[in-house]
Amino acid sequence: MTSASIAATTPNADEVFVDIQALTVTFKGARRPVNAVSGVDLQVRRGEVVALIGESGSGKSVTLRTLLRLHAERRTSLGGCIRVGSHAVLDLAPRALADYRGKVASMIFQEPLLALDPVYTVGAQIVEAIRRHEPVSAHEARQRALQLFERVRIPSPERRLDAYPHELSGGMRQRAMIALALACRPQLLLADEPTTALDATVQIQVLLLLRELQRELGLAVIFVTHDIGAAVEIADRIAVMYAGRIVEEGPVRTLIREPRHPYTRALLQSRAHGAMAKGTRLVTIPGAPPDLSALPPGCAFAERCSIAQDACRITQPEIVHLSIEHRARCFRTGETVTGSEPPAVR
């Protein structure tokens, strides 16, 4: 999709803070290159939360990490364009990239025990991040870190600042990771499945905390998850990814109630929900995602799709605009939507 078409189809285009155009990410493998992301277009407005959902291997986390250019450059080929505010991310020189990370865009990683340095206290890591980007003393940075711990509701915050990552529970580590991500007041927050390793109660607490902080600070957020329920709780819009492409995108309420891509409908059907009778078997999506090093010429979902036709296996479908903000990449978007039982939308 061109910049001109985006301006014509996306409301308040002047408020777009993240603009991803035709993004491709290819990893140089030992045998064949792996096309992890194949032409992603995505826009996020200031103060908006967009959730990326899909099965493992669909390109969600790869897309997110590309926004910070975290992939090893020698093994990765990037194409397209990413603009975050005034920053052309793929063109940033090393020094400018270091300034951009943490200050403009920051990330909450899936497993904080691996993301945090085990040989430094959590407080020391936050202090270091603040002093890297702002001319403040160690004492001032520590006071900021303490305020952040209080803000993310870590009990006994002063004592926890001097704790090592392994001394904190999973929920506290995730809250500490959120505090670290917010330490330098970024404008864009990237969350890579931040609740996956947590139990259900703590998951809800972290989701509510993220949404509260996002609204309070006016952050743009891209939230990666495979949990549709989590996406419904936190997001304004949902983008569904499959085999490195966004196959459907729209406001939460519209996409959940009126899914127009067969893959989106299949994801909704394969989820347990309150209306299911006890003992009912979950619907599963047959087959497996395609080999990203040998993508088919047509729709990547065709071999698993119950309504695929010959054209689906030959030609890659173009994006169909169903409304101003709802679009899907499918030849059969005009057909009646049936069979999906959506999770509750508040």
CA dist., res. 23 & res. 185, Å (int): 27
Residues 230, 288: one domain?
Answer: yes
What's the domain range around 64? 1-104+188-273+282-321+331-346
Average pLDDT over residues 265-275: 76
pLDDT of 271: 73
Same domain, 94 and 225: yes
How large is the greatest C-alpha to C-alpha distance in the chain, in angstroms? 67
Do 143 and 27 fall into the same domain?
A: no
Query: Are 62 and 3 found together in one domain?
Result: yes
pLDDT tens for 95-113 read 999 999 999 999 999 888 8
**pLDDT over 60 at 341, yes or no:** no
CA–CA separation, 66 and 82 (whole Å): 9
Residues 194 and 267 in one domain: yes
Confidence of residue 15 (pLDDT cuts 50, 70, 90): confident
Higher pLDDT pick, 2 / 296: 296
Considering the domain architecture, whether residues 84 and 141 belong to the same structural domain is answered as no
Q: Is the same domain home to 158 and 257?
A: no
Q: Which of 93-107, 114-128, 192-206, 288-302 has the lowest mean pLDDT?
A: 192-206
Looking at residue 228, its pLDDT comes to: 87
Phi-psi region of 9 (alpha: psi -120 to 50; beta: other; left: phi over 0): alpha
Question: Would the pLDDT of 7 be above 70?
Answer: no
Q: Is residue 326 in a domain?
A: no
Which residue, of 165, 185, 205, is where some domain finishes? Answer: 185
**How many domains is the chain partitioned into structurally?**
2
Could you give phi then psi for residue 249, rounded to 5 degrees? Answer: -150, 140
What confidence tens digit (pLDDT) does each residue in 73-93 have?
A: 999 999 999 999 999 999 999
Same-domain check for residues 141 and 80: no
| Interval 28-47: pLDDT, tens | 977 899 999 999 999 999 99
- Apex 222 CA angle, 74 and 20, nearest 5: 60
Distance separating alpha carbons of residues 19 and 44, to the nearest angstrom: 7
- What's the token pair of residue 67? 């926004």
Mean pLDDT taken over the chain: 88
pLDDT at 3 over 50: no
**Do 195 and 206 form a contact (C-beta atoms < 8 A)?**
yes
Picking from 160, 185, 210, the residue at the C-terminal end of a domain is: 185
Domain's final residue, options 145, 166, 185: 185
Cβ atoms of residues 247 and 264 within 8 Å? yes
Share of the chain above pLDDT 90, in %: 73
Q: What is the pLDDT of residue 242?
A: 96
Residues 55, 176: one domain?
no
The CA distances from residue 147 to 152, 156, 163, 224, 285, in Å, are 9, 12, 16, 27, 46
With a cut of 50, say whether residue 263 has pLDDT above it: yes
What sign does the dihedral 94-39-322-61 (CA atoms) show? Answer: negative
Q: Is 37 inside a domain boundary?
A: yes
Per-residue pLDDT at 1 = 36
- pLDDT class for 279, splitting at 50, 70, 90? low
Distance CA 286, CA 277 (A): 22
User: Can you give the pLDDT at residue 213?
Assistant: 92
Q: Which residues of 10-39 are buried (b: 16+ CB within 10 A; e: fewer)?
A: beeeeebbbbbbebbbbbeeeeeebbbbbb
Count of other CB atoms within 10 angstroms of residue 342 = 18
Pairing status of strand 34-45 against strand 49-53: unpaired
* Chain position carrying tokens 């160690």: 138
* Whether 295 and 216 share a structural domain: yes
Same domain, 5 and 96: yes
pLDDT at 90: 97
User: Whole-angstrom Cα distance, residue 84 to residue 99?
Assistant: 13
pLDDT value of position 345: 42
Domain at 2, CATH number: 3.40.50.300
Chain length of the chain: 346
* Pair (32, 100) in one structural domain: yes
pTM to 2 decimal places: 0.88
CB-based contacts of 160: which residues, under 8 Å, 6+ apart? 122, 123, 149, 154, 168, 172, 176
